[in-house]
Amino acid sequence: GAGVSQSPSNKVTEKGKDVELRCDPISGHTALYWYRQSLGQGLEFLIYFQGNSAPDKSGLPSDRFSAERTGGSVSTLTIQRTQQEDSAVYLCASTSTSSYNEQFFGPGTRLTVL
Amino acid sequence: AQTVTQSQPEMSVQEAETVTLSCTYDTSESNYYLFWYKQPPSRQMILVIRQEAYKQQNATENRFSVNFQKAAKSFSLKISDSQLGDTAMYFCAFMSWGAQKLVFGQGTRLTINP
C-alpha cells in the first residue's frame, strides 16, 4: 500500500515569508508526528496528533510554528515569518495501534530559508 | 528527560564484515521501547529493529541483532555479513511507555566499502 507522503519535496523561501508543509499519512493510521532534522539539533520531535485528542505541541520551538490535522488524516505544518535557523528537513510519520509502536516515516521536506 | 547518545559519528567497514554500532540512553523509567532506524541518502527513515524493555531476549531481524543491557542502559546494533545497501545513517531511538514520541540519538554514519 501507499506509504507516508510529504509535499513539497524541497522548498526554498525568503526570510520572513510563511511556508506550509503537507503530510499525507498511511490510510487508517490514527497517530501522526512531525519531526525536524537539522545539522545543529539532530532529530527532534515537534508535534503529535492522536485521533480526536488535543495534540501534544510540546516540541514546537516557537509560536511561529503551528500544525493542524484535518479530518483525522492530512496534516499541515505552518511556519510563519521564517528564519534562517528554520532551515532543516521536516519529517512526518504515522502509526496505528496495530503497528507495535513502529512509526512509518515520509521522505521529508527540505526547507531552505535564504 | 530522556537522552540518547551515539558515540560513533562515523564508521566504515568492508563488505561482508560484521559491525557493531553503540547506543546508550538515560531514563528513570522501567518500561520503554528502543529502536534502530536506518536513513539512506533518500532520507526515508526505515525501522531496522525494535526492543521492548520488559523482554530479556535480544531482538533479531535476519542479519541485524541487538545487545540490550538494561542495567547498563546500553542498546547496540550488530550487522552481520554487511552489504553495500547497508550504507546509511543509523539512529538509535527511545520511546517511553505510552509517550509515543521518539527521542533520537545524533546518528552514526555507516559506510560499507566494496
Cα(A92)–Cα(A67) distance, integer angstroms? 12
pLDDT digits (tens, 9 = 90+) for B8-57: 999 999 999 999 999 999 999 989 999 999 999 888 899 999 999 999 89
Mark yes or no for CB contact B103/A45 under 8 Å. yes
Cα(B52)–Cα(B32) distance, integer angstroms? 6
Q: Is A10 exposed, middle or buried (0-12, 13-18, 19+ CB in 10 A)?
A: exposed
Looking at residue B1, what is its pLDDT? 78
Instruction: Return the residue matching grid coordinates 540518547.
Output: B4
Taking a C-beta distance cutoff of 8 angstroms, is the pair A75, A45 a contact?
no
Mean pLDDT of A26-42: 90
pLDDT surpassing 80 at residue A98: no
pLDDT digits (tens, 9 = 90+) for A51-93: 888 899 999 999 999 999 988 789 999 999 999 999 999 999 9
A vs B: CB pairs below 8 A: 48
| Number of H-type helices and E-type strands within chain A | 0, 10
Task: DSSP for A12-60, please give it.
Answer: EE-TT--EEEEEEPPTT--EEEEEEEETTTEEEEEEEEETTSPPB-TT-
Mean pLDDT of A22-40: 92
Smallest CA–CA distance from B47 into chain A, residue: A102
pLDDT surpassing 90 at residue A46: yes
Mark yes or no for CB contact A102/B100 under 8 Å. no
What are the cell numbers at A41? 539539533
Looking at residue B2, what is its pLDDT? 86
pLDDT digits (tens, 9 = 90+) for B60-103: 999 999 999 999 999 999 999 999 999 999 999 999 987 779 99
Q: Chain A partners of B45 at a C-beta cutoff of 8 Å?
A: 91, 93, 105
Looking at residue A51, what is its pLDDT? 84
Looking at residue A1, what is its pLDDT? 58
Mark yes or no for CB contact B50/A33 under 8 Å. no
Q: Chain B partners of A111 at a C-beta cutoff of 8 Å?
A: none
Q: What is the mean pLDDT of chain B?
A: 94
